[in-house]
Amino acid sequence: MKGRRLRTYAYLLCLPALCCTGCKISYSFSGASVDYTVTKTISISDFPNQAPLVYPPLSQSFTEELKDNYIRRTKLQMIQNNGDLDIEGEITGYDMAPMAIREDNYSSMTKLTMSVRVRFANRANQDKDFEQSFSAYREFDSNRMLQDIQDELNGELVKEIVDQIYNATVADW
């Protein structure tokens, strides 16, 4: 009985070592999974605003936030053209729609939606190339004027879409 108990303890002590052999744990605070030995540069083109409803500062603020995000979260060098990773696209949608219709047939909430089409090229691994649309929305009280909260809402929409693009391109989520 005593020998059996000793073997059980021995197995329990060895179990963590057996489970961990051959395993590799890898993590990154930025969330990026970039092989910097083959991918060193990134180029991001300006994203023109081709939405039917145009908010003039949106194109520049979106492009700058996208560039800043990659500079902050990766070790990639930003270059003008032909980077190892290349991102281009356009803002395709910037729309408002009434939501939550009340009994007096007026909307109590309005939904602001932003959509962006992105073309991504990975020169080191062309299997990861894609063309995809990303979007985000925010709802706000219809009693408020859009121009009063537009900058705040746009900041939130831009950040969310930039995070979606980052995750789709280098985070491999």
The tokens describing 148, both together, are 């009063």
Alpha-carbon dihedral 135, 138, 143, 144, rounded to 10 degrees: -90
Following DSSP, what letter does each residue of 111-168 receive, concatenated? Answer: EEEEEEEEEEEETT-GGG-EEEEEEEEEEEETTS-HHHHHHHHHHHHHHHHHHHHHII
Give the predicted TM-score (pTM) of the model: 0.79
For the chain, domain boundaries = 31-171
Place domain 31-171 in its CATH homologous superfamily: Lipoprotein like domain (3.30.160.150)
pLDDT in tens, the chain (173 residues): 555 555 555 555 555 554 444 443 333 444 567 889 999 999 999 999 999 999 999 999 999 999 999 999 999 999 999 999 999 999 999 999 988 777 777 778 999 999 999 999 999 999 999 999 999 999 999 889 999 999 999 999 999 999 999 999 998 65
Nearest to 155 by CA among 81, 61, 31: 61
